[in-house]
Amino acid sequence: MNREKYVVLEISSWQGMSLGAEHYYGKLVGEKDDNYIKYELEKIMSKKDAERLSKKDDWKYKEGRGTSRFENEDEIREIAIKEWQKIFPNACALLEGRSISAEPMKCLKVKNENLKEKLNKIWEENEVISHISRNYNKIDILCDKYWKLLERACK
């Protein structure tokens, strides 16, 4: 499938790896005009966000400024769903996962919304399979099925 047809939302966090880390970060990854683009998502800080971060970081944050720090993954998904087609206007699907992966990813939005549920069922099935050598054929079949269905969903 042409990589310009879909965008991947990558969500990350340093929680559990860095002392005091509590935020999530999101970026949209895709191709546009034959260029590989990583677009870091931001939100506008509320007064509450600015006060809390100012206290935590001993720095003066201001309400109304942009920040890439999100409180939870759902906040990132909401922004991504609003923004992805502004950045990647030729894309027909927004997936969540890792842009380097060839395996099925969670489908957040797709041109043909009727196929979104089927795509996510394949993704869920892949998520519960133990990724060991005896299951590789089954995984390959799921991957092939997913990408063919996504191609159909983009028409």
pLDDT in tens, 12-69: 987 655 555 678 999 999 998 889 999 999 999 888 888 888 877 777 888 899 989 8
Tell me how long the chain is: 155
pLDDT in tens, 70-101: 989 999 999 999 999 999 999 999 999 999 99
Radius of gyration, CA atoms only, the chain: 18
Please state, in angstroms and rounded to a whole number, the distance separating the CA atoms of residues 38 and 28: 6
Please state, in angstroms and rounded to a whole number, the distance separating the CA atoms of residues 123 and 119: 6
pLDDT at residue 56, as a whole number: 76
Q: CA distances (Å), 129 to each of 23, 73, 91, 107, 139, in order?
A: 29, 24, 29, 18, 8
pLDDT at residue 69, as a whole number: 87
Domain ranges of the chain: 3-101, 111-155
Closest CA to 32 of 2, 75, 64: 2
